[in-house]
Chain A
Amino acid sequence: MQASRIQQRRNYALAALLFFIYQPVQAHFQLLYTAETTPTRGVATDWFMLFTHPAHGGPHMDMAAPEKFYLVSQRGDAAEPQVQDLLEYVEPLEFSSEQGITQAYSASLPRSVTRSLGDYVFVLQPAPYFESTEDKYIQQFTRTMVNVGGVPGNWAEPMGLPAEILPLNKPYANWQGGVFRGVVLADGGPVPNAEIEIEYLNHDPNLENMTLGEQAKVELPQDSFGTQTIYANAAGEFTIGLPRAGWWGICALAIGADTEHEGKELSQDGVLWLQVKDLQ
């Protein structure tokens, strides 16, 4: 058992080394995870923020302190959207994995934040991350949407972010085997032919100890299956299938107007996470 664990660590270290040497096509994804996106009533929520490669379960990248973490909530069609700054709840997290310690962040939000019925659009704006292997910065404007009780709200409203994926169907109510449609937006306008990457969160997060499960849920037959790449149409729209329950990340690449940071190339990406339920 011990020998197998040592071998597993060796394999992981080798994989990490090969990753940095050969730079295979793996997508960086800013994770913004909570256990349940559709609670029936208001509950306290824990959030896990890790910059990672979700299909491969790593390597993970050190995050700088988030620039913004907030929500926009709305109950029903007629209500006005409410903005709530959540940065005060964000705590640094030393995320531990086979790779070692990675700087991540977490937040524990009291029930009062999500007590009311309706939609809650959580937005994380991390500081730009310098990816030395690509000699560029990456900044992913990341959204995860929660609905309390089944009363809809503002899930379909654009927020005018520098980079954003606008859902065309409810992002928190997707069955395994269904499809998800969206529009890629930059500063509120559609981005024609945007390059989009999709990855399955292949290692379940554990919010009790803020770790990722060691066992992959899906064995990838070949590296192309880890990151699915598609292009939006001329109107910025896209459709993807959701073949398995769990979490799916969608990332529209390099669509923001700012293309330079501290003298280097900057990729401003828009990320949206979906929690997909099993139809049983």
Chain B
Amino acid sequence: MKAELSAALASLIFGLAVSPVAVAHNAICNCYEEPDNQVLCEGGFSDGASAEGVDIRVLDDRERVLLEGKMDADSIFTFDRPDVFFHVIFDAGDNHRVVIYEDEIE
């Protein structure tokens, strides 16, 4: 029993160590209309961690990927505004995805 508990604890510690984000932290992302038909998205986490390297995807209303990339060192991703209706997914892993629809972008 004691050995099982130790193994479970070790596995939990390992899981937390390799997880890209701690489970208690919320993913946050806002997108804004910028000049020259650009859209700027900025991400972050409620514990203040950087969003550098987090995946971001722009999809149409049939969930086809229009473009994808990663947040830069300033936790920002900028792209040309698509001609079709679109939404943005800031994807920091399970339970840490933020979806922003086009009508939320001002």
Using a CB–CB cutoff of 8 Å, the interface residues on chain A facing chain B are: 40-42, 75-79, 115-118, 149-153
Contacts and interface: CB of A to CB of B under 8 A. Distances in A.
Interface of B: 26, 28, 30, 32, 42-50, 75
B32 A151 contact: no
A152 B47 contact: yes
Contacts of B43: 117
B89 to A, nearest CB: 17
B103 to A, nearest CB: 14
A118 B30 CA distance: 12
A148 to B, nearest CB: 8
A78 B32 contact: no
B35 to A, nearest CB: 11
Nearest to B40: A115
Contacts of B47: 77, 152
Given A76-B75, A77-B48, A150 B26 contact: yes
A152 B46 contact: yes
Interface of A is mostly: loop
Given A76-B49, A76-B50, A78-B50, A115 B44 contact: no
A42 B34 CA distance: 13
Nearest to B31: A41
Contacts of B48: 75-78, 151-153
B49 A149 contact: no
A42 B75 contact: no
Nearest to A148: B30
A77 B46 CA distance: 11
A149 B30 contact: yes
A78 to B, nearest CB: 5
Nearest to B34: A115
A52 B2 CA distance: 65
Nearest to A78: B50
B46 A117 contact: no
B32 A42 contact: yes
A21 to B, nearest CB: 52
Contacts of B75: 75-76, 117
Contacts of A41: 30, 32
Contacts of B42: 116-117
Contacts of A116: 42
15 contacts: A41-B30, A75-B48, A76-B44, A76-B48, A76-B75, A77-B47, A79-B50, A117-B43, A117-B44, A149-B44, A150-B28, A151-B44, A152-B46, A152-B47, A153-B48
Contacts of A118: 44
A41 B29 CA distance: 9
Contact of B49 (A42, A77, A115): A77
A104 B64 CA distance: 55
